[in-house]
Amino acid sequence: MSETIQLGDISILVTRKDVKNVHLSVHPPDGRVTLVAPTATRLDVARAYAISKLGWINQQKQTLDNQARETPRLFVERESHYVWGRRHLMTILYEETKPFVTLDHKRITVTIRPGSDLAKRHQVMHDWHKSLLHKAIPPLIRKWEPKLGVEVSRYFLQRMKTKWGACNHQAGNIRLNTELVKKPKDLLEYVIVHEMAHLIEPTHNDHFIAILNEHYPNWREARIELNELPLTFEQWDS
pLDDT digits (tens, 9 = 90+) for 80-127: 899 999 989 999 999 999 999 999 988 999 999 999 999 999 999 999
Type of residue numbered 165: G
What per-residue confidence (pLDDT) applies to 70? 63
Residues 6+ apart with CB under 8 A from 80: 87, 88, 89, 90
The band of 20, judged by pLDDT with boundaries at 50, 70 and 90, is confident
Helix (H) or strand (E) holding 186: helix 185-197
Shortest CA distance to 230 belongs to which of 162, 179, 191?
A: 179
Q: What percent of the chain has pLDDT over 70?
A: 92
Q: Indicate the domain borders of the chain.
A: 2-66, 117-236
CATH T-level fold of 117-236:
Zincin-like (3.30.2010)
Residue 47 has pLDDT above 60, yes or no: yes
Task: Average the pLDDT over 172-196 and give the result.
Answer: 95
Split at pLDDT 50, 70, 90, the class of 69 is low
Calculate what percentage of the chain has a pLDDT beyond 90: 71
Position 234 pLDDT exceeds 60 = no
